[in-house]
Amino acid sequence: MKQESNCTDRSNSTVLPTGEEKEKRTRIVVLGAGESGAGAAVLAKVKGLNTFVSDMSTIKDKYKELLNKYDIAWEERHHTEELILNADEVVKSPGIPNDAPLILKLKEKGIPVISEIEFAGRYTDAKMICITGSNGKTTTTSLIYHIFKSAGLNVGLAGNIGNSLALQVATEQHDYYVIELSSFQLDNMYKFRANIAVLMNITPDHLDRYDHCMQNYVDAKFRITQNQTPDDAFVFWNDDPIIKRELAKHGLKAHLYPFSAVKEEGAIAYVEDGEVEINAPIAFNMEQEELALHGTHNLYNSLAAGISANLAGIKKEYIRKALSDFKGVEHRLEKVCDVRGVHFINDSKATNVNSCWYALQSMTTKTVLILGGKDKGNDYTEIEDLVREKCSALVYLGLHNEKLHDFFDRLGLPVADVQTGMKDAVEAAFRLAKKGETVLLSPCCASFDLFKSYEDRGDQFKKYVREL
């Protein structure tokens, strides 16, 4: 990893239009026609803007139908530059890097490039509860949404999960939106304001998109606090060394709500004597054992969600009930089944090393760990001690497993190398596992070498486990 001093300057030169200029901007081009892109296109069309959608990949049928329903022009499998470089503004899919050639051409022409979230935020006055972090954001987002929904609030779920924020703004009217934000989405947000911003943690992830510079990634995460006012709230993990180091750098105006596993200086939420305590803005408590989610990492998720619900004025009894009956998130430490005495757990959402660390930490039996995929500049040192302590064998699953061999083979554990797919990986793990042990899919890596997505990877894991 490069040191901060060697980081490339990534300051974005995008200049957003003033109100008067915005009125003149009538041609919107949307790049990427997935959930966020199709939603942004519908919103642009509904608002009377000249709208065009371009995707280098094949557009899924459901999104073609949506675009056609609203009479939106689109193209797939190529970009027609003359139809794009004449845009007044471009809404970019988070999957497209900011240094992609077409994006650089747009910037050269001074055409603003923004995210779907930025675009949608212009057209709603709803309260925004926004969650980011290297790990735990999906669970925390889902849990906050569950609390709000259970309390009877008019709330939408958006961002990396749920339906497109832009589509909801175009076709529905919610009072609150709970939004999971990746660093890629935050990169292209400028004026958007989070009323409640939640930052779970910051550990190395996606460094291949950030010039292998940790500070660039950190700066992207802290964009969740931009535009916040003293009326807003910033909720964060008090013990994250990177967050603590960065707090003074970003001119934070929001009220701070730090949480911690135990009572300590500065924390307004923690556990003491088996009791979850939230001291602000309204005193709240419940027995820790009543929480639906177990393990230290899930305690942080529950505390962040509890604080957010508290800030929204949700009654204590609703918060208590929702924290105790939440069902968890698919592909995150999801129990699949037991096969002849071997436990199988799907943690396909663990696409970085720190997420795998949390998963291994929660294991109570010896574990056969399935890991590998598209490496994102991973440093496996973080999980080395836990692998030594917890693992009885390793299964490398990926097209390129050389880095895994180089790091883990020296530990002396039985190893299976699988480059062919999930069926063979599951069978290899089952052969290596002893009765009473756990097979854990917690890959540390992205899925795109062998699978369509981490969901596809997790679904295949569950399918082949059940076929054993």
Parent domain of 78? 25-111
Q: Are residues 125 and 261 in the same domain?
A: yes
Q: Are residues 285 and 430 in the same domain?
A: no
Judged against a pLDDT cut of 80, whether residue 15 lies above it is answered with no
Q: Are residues 287 and 182 in the same domain?
A: yes
- pLDDT in the model for residue 21: 45
The three-state DSSP-derived secondary structure of 172-239 is CCCCEEEEECCHHHHHCCCCCCCCEEEECCCCCCCHHHCCCEHHHHHHHHHHHHCCCCCCCEEEEECC
- pLDDT in the model for residue 370: 98
Please identify, among 296, 325, 354, the residue that sits at the C-terminal boundary of a domain: 325
Judged against a pLDDT cut of 50, whether residue 14 lies above it is answered with no
pLDDT digits (tens, 9 = 90+) for 320-356: 999 999 988 889 888 899 999 999 999 999 998 988 9
CATH of the domain at 452: 3.90.190.20
Q: Which residue has the higher pLDDT, 241 or 211?
A: 241
pTM of the model: 0.80
pLDDT digits (tens, 9 = 90+) for 165-183: 999 999 998 999 999 998 8
Please identify, among 272, 292, 325, the residue that sits at the C-terminal boundary of a domain: 325
- pLDDT in the model for residue 408: 98
Q: Are residues 216 and 262 in the same domain?
A: yes
- For the chain, state the CA radius of gyration: 23
Q: Are residues 412 and 283 in the same domain?
A: no
Domain membership flag for residue 280? yes
Per the DSSP assignment, residues forming a β-bridge with 262 are: 271
Domain membership flag for residue 36? yes
Distance CA 103, CA 86 (A): 13
- pLDDT in the model for residue 308: 98
pLDDT digits (tens, 9 = 90+) for 58-109: 999 999 999 999 999 999 999 999 999 999 999 999 889 888 999 999 999 9
Helix (H) or strand (E) holding 156: strand 155-159
Nearest to 392 by CA among 358, 422, 436, 337: 436
Distance CA 198, CA 180 (A): 10
Q: Are residues 452 and 348 in the same domain?
A: yes
Q: Are residues 159 and 100 in the same domain?
A: no
Judged against a pLDDT cut of 70, whether residue 210 lies above it is answered with no
Judged against a pLDDT cut of 60, whether residue 13 lies above it is answered with no
* Tokens found for residue 219: 């700066």
Please identify, among 325, 360, 378, the residue that sits at the C-terminal boundary of a domain: 325
Q: Are residues 278 and 417 in the same domain?
A: no
**Where does residue 11 rank: exposed (0-12), middle (13-18), buried (19+ CB within 10 A)?**
exposed
Q: Are residues 156 and 250 in the same domain?
A: yes
Domain membership flag for residue 5? no
Judged against a pLDDT cut of 90, whether residue 384 lies above it is answered with yes
- pLDDT in the model for residue 274: 94
Domain membership flag for residue 235? yes
Judged against a pLDDT cut of 50, whether residue 297 lies above it is answered with yes
CATH of the domain at 299: 3.40.1190.10
Q: Which residue has the tokens 């596992």?
A: 433
CATH of the domain at 32: 3.40.50.720
Q: Are residues 397 and 321 in the same domain?
A: no
pLDDT digits (tens, 9 = 90+) for 218-244: 888 999 999 999 999 999 999 999 999
As a whole number, the mean pLDDT across the chain is: 92
Distance CA 323, CA 264 (A): 23
Domain membership flag for residue 13? no
Domain membership flag for residue 7? no
Distance CA 209, CA 313 (A): 38
Phi, psi torsion values for 294, nearest 5 degrees: -110, 165
Q: Are residues 155 and 235 in the same domain?
A: yes
Mean pLDDT of 393-410: 97
Total structural domains within the chain: 3
pLDDT digits (tens, 9 = 90+) for 238-295: 999 999 999 988 889 999 999 999 999 999 999 999 999 999 999 999 999 999 988 7
Q: Are residues 255 and 293 in the same domain?
A: yes
Mean pLDDT of 292-301: 87
Judged against a pLDDT cut of 60, whether residue 25 lies above it is answered with no
